[in-house]
Amino acid sequence: MTSMQKVGAVLVVGGGIGGIQASLDLADAGFKVFLMDEKASIGGVMAQLDKTFPTNDCSMCILAPKLVSAARHPNIELITYANLESVDGNAGNFRVKVVKHPKFVDAEKCNACGVCATKCPVKIIDSYNEGLCERKAIGIDYPQAVPATYYINKEYCLHFTKNRCGLCERFCSAKAINFEQKEEIIELNVGAIIIATGAERFDARIKSMYGYKRCKNVLKSIELERILNASGPFQGHLCRPSDHKQPKSIAFIQCVGSRDKKLGNSYCSSVCCAYATKEAILIKEHYPEIECSIFYLDMRTYGKGFERYFERARDEYGIKFIRGRIGNVTEIPENKNLRVQYEDERGILRKSDFEMLVLSVGLAPNKDIEKLASICSIETDKWHFIKTEKFLPVATTRQGIFMCGTASAPKDIPETVVEASAAASKVAELLREERNSLTTEISYPEEIDVSGQGPRIGVFVCHCGLNIAQTVDVKEVVEYGKTLANVVYCEDNMYSCSDDTQQHIKEIIKRMALNRVVIAACTPRTHEPLFQETIRDAGLNKYLLEFANIRDQCSWVHHNEPEAATAKAKDIVRMACARARYLSSLADITVPVIPKALVIGGGISGMNAALNIANQGFEVYLIEKEPYLGGNAIYIKHTIDNLDAQEYLKQLIATVEHHNLIQVFKESEVKEVGGYVGNFKTRIKTRDSEKEFEHGVIILATGAREYQPVEYLYGKDPRVITQQELEQKLFDDLTTQSLNHSTIVMIQCVGSRDSNHNYCSRICCQQAIKNAVLIKEINPEAEIIILYRDIRTYGLNEVWYTRARELGVVFIRYTEETKPEITLSDNKLMLKFKELLLNEEIDMEADLVVLSAGIVPDTNNQAIAQLLKVPLNGDGFFLEAHMKLRPVDFATDGIFICGLAHAPKNISESIAQANASASRAGIILSQKSIEILSITAEIDETKCIGCGICEKLCPYQAHRLHKIEKGLRSEVILANCKGCGSCASSCPQQAITMRHFTNEQIMAMVEAL
């Protein structure tokens, strides 16, 4: 192999959610992946969480399918308990050395039975449970760990420390213990590297005034997460460490180790506000009597759906949000309660007592990041995060090495997943010629023919930690399941989606000769593909699976009625088993893929998506309704960190317009879309004509627009303008009168966080601070006042908030109830607002008022949603399939979303999401054919009278009439059919049956109920 030859393999360093997502994207797109982690198992910090926000999904329910998929994938090789030692070579062809540490357990033999751990006499601190309990010197990190291979902690094992014991070896029936295992050097040849090492949590002991480790009932947020988790030290029961009693009052302290210039952590950790809100809500849901208070500086719930989540916490759950600075925490000796001393918003010193205190610790750079950066020859920033650029958000300073997630800055799960897919897309660009050069195809055992067999149903009821078991008596449901007709096996599992349980289910299917499987667990929306894959591995057709959703539809909605919930769970299981008796094997439909993409929208997101797909080697049609490319970016002159946005935009447009695989259509709009994943057909109207294209995927990047204010005299007085208009003035002439105004007042949250726009527009605070800093740097004498509700300079942008204050920009907070007022008096702009610190009304004259107008959905969203058959959320933005699992996918296969059409976001985030959508699209485009579901309509021609009602009603154009000798009959275009059932429910002759949802199956469920 020559040094110039590229290699179709990738090393992903870090096995958290980001590393796993990047690995799955790359493996599905035709690349060999080595997924490496320093720990013995993958999963990262997400494996420690209880639930996620704002959806309240079980964290493990989101993570487990990805864990199992990564472990099963034939093109992903897991290398755990390992460290990167060296990286040589260049982009496309790196030579890498990895040190794999011995686990002293043979992974090929270990069946994770756990006998070794029960016999081990040595107890050590359980780091996975944050030191709240103990574990044995041999074990696995957590119940659903992948790989499910036990390992020995050599530092504490008596065999290594005192040359005695060996009980684990003696009692291991699989003969998996191997004390002679040695360190192994693995040499890899890869074309690219993705760093997904995540971040550390701030050491709360450094902030000694908060009492961590000094006061027994002061916890870190991650420790509370483990306490609330069913697999945690107290089986999910909330109790104080000091006396194991349930607390009556809990306080959360925000910004512990964040926004702290003295510590060098001058950035915002981005996730803590919503994270604390989530934990408080979880507590209130299970323990309504507990009082929860959150001390904060600015409430930074800036993500999609986060503002409503915050309001629910405050208004529905009664959680108290207290704005104030904490001075000290002391322990009351007689009861171990905590006394919190703080300064409230008006500067008054106060004290409050709580029975437990939770510190929302911030994110810090990975402890080994500088060593890793040195090995990879990449740069870090002043905070020791991996250095990236705003216009290249997943690229490091060395070609061929990319990153994702919190390795570069604090961010939440959806952003991490987006960046993971974005990094995968950049790798796909780099290695496009080597796609499928090192991969193997997924193979399944020969499918068992169950026709003619009587139903043999296996029922597996999941505890889902405490998500189900805290409300539903799972054991009682299992005993009931055993009594149902045709059920030959029924058991309960702690986590049915874990890798070891998946293997166990396959074994039971074979041992008990099961030919139907019922999973009573969470939602098929996220987990059905995982279990379908499992029964396929066991030789059953995937359509012989039935899901009984006893979490979302039972335990969650009836968590205060355990007896009724248990009875309902039995009903749901009985109905599922009734339907399972009539399930039959179906063959999925294979359709060819047209290796072309349609991108709707020519802004920064649309152009980046188009360019990435084209650079992967696929043709792209780029549709833009305006006579120019650029979208909202034409109004952005520079970024908050002073990068030239217009120069970037100019180069991007030139690259897109001259790319030989991209056809750009300006002044064009989509008129009609038909077809299905892999085979779409779209008709567009251009300025001069109409054109029709066939393509395999669609990316929606239609953008959004600036809110046009109707308040604060906007449009009535030229001295009231928006931030976008101010930026244009500053750009047109840096000596403009705008810079010479003596008093400039900026008003935040105009068209955001109100009754009509109940969300945060995310960029407004950054935009105001960017313009304020520019003015102050050029004209230090200018007086700039920013009236705000919460300053939301999340992540590394916090430094610019600090910079603005240092330059003398004055920040004055207002509340939703005390909005500023503007009037005209003798042609003077007069402002009236309440100064909360002084508790006084302020009247002042302003030379210029700048409104930080929010982002609102494009007016064409509803029409496009109807054309593409994709949903919008309540705010009018497009709704992704799942916020955490599939943040750029629609529920409709083959259609993806990016940029402002999805939700408000800045340039860097839009670029990352554009590349992520290109990654997901590239997975489909890289395949010659794909399988689509067999859940389709079926016509009985002997009953059909050709009335055409089905053709008129079908939203997917899946029905058409054709002539036969006796007249007209309907036929189904199977590839178009989505199985919605509107035709079957409307057919006057009952001539239409839905495959996998037959009348017989549905009526069996009804009769069982």
Dump the DSSP string for 666-729. Answer: -S-EEEEEEEETTEEEEEEE-SS-EEEEEESEEEE---EEE----STTTTT-TTEEEHHHHHHH
Q: How many helices (H) and strands (E) does the chain have?
A: 25, 49
861 vs 848: CA distance, rounded Å: 34
Instruction: For residue 903, give the DSSP letter.
Output: S
The per-residue pLDDT for 172 is 93
| C-alpha distances in Å from residue 585, one per residue of 38, 145, 450, 574 | 43, 32, 8, 21
Query: What mean pLDDT do residues 845-857 have?
Result: 96
pTM for the whole thing?
0.92
365 vs 637: CA distance, rounded Å: 31
Has residue 865 got a pLDDT over 60?
A: yes
Query: What mean pLDDT do residues 176-182 have?
Result: 95
Digit-coded pLDDT (tens) for 36-62: 999 999 999 999 998 888 877 778 878
Strand order across the 840-846 sheet: 821-825, 828-835, 840-846
* Runs of H (alpha helix) within 791-860: 798-806
* DSSP run (H or E) holding 61: helix 59-72
Instruction: For residue 481, give the DSSP letter.
Output: H
Has residue 471 got a pLDDT over 80?
A: yes
CB 103 within 8 A of CB 149: yes
The per-residue pLDDT for 798 is 96
Query: What mean pLDDT do residues 21-49 have?
Result: 96
pLDDT band for position 977 (50/70/90)? confident
- The residues facing 361 across adjacent strands are 256
- The residues facing 146 across adjacent strands are 42
Has residue 635 got a pLDDT over 70?
A: yes
Residue at 600: amino acid letter: I
Structure tokens at 739: 């810079």
255 vs 490: CA distance, rounded Å: 48
Dump the DSSP string for 244-275. Answer: -PPPSEEEEEEEETSSBGGGTB-S--SSHHHH
Which of 933, 974, 934, 932 is CA-nearest to residue 957? 974
CB 178 within 8 A of CB 157: no
769 vs 227: CA distance, rounded Å: 40
Has residue 587 got a pLDDT over 50?
A: yes
3-class DSSP state of 990: coil
| C-alpha distances in Å from residue 769, one per residue of 493, 602, 623, 787 | 53, 28, 34, 12
Has residue 810 got a pLDDT over 60?
A: yes
Cβ neighbours for 30, distance < 8 A, ≥ 6 positions apart: 8, 435, 436, 439, 926
CB 93 within 8 A of CB 3: yes
Cβ neighbours for 180, distance < 8 A, ≥ 6 positions apart: none
655 vs 662: CA distance, rounded Å: 10
Block residue for tokens 């982690």? 37
Residue at 243: amino acid letter: D
Residue at 357: amino acid letter: L
Digit-coded pLDDT (tens) for 932-952: 888 899 999 889 999 999 999
Cβ neighbours for 892, distance < 8 A, ≥ 6 positions apart: 677, 868, 869, 870, 978
Structure tokens at 537: 């591995």
Digit-coded pLDDT (tens) for 548-563: 999 989 998 898 899 9
Digit-coded pLDDT (tens) for 685-732: 998 899 999 999 999 999 999 999 999 999 999 999 999 999 998 887
Cα end-to-end distance, the chain, whole Å: 66
Block residue for tokens 């078991």? 469
Residue count of the chain, please give it: 1009
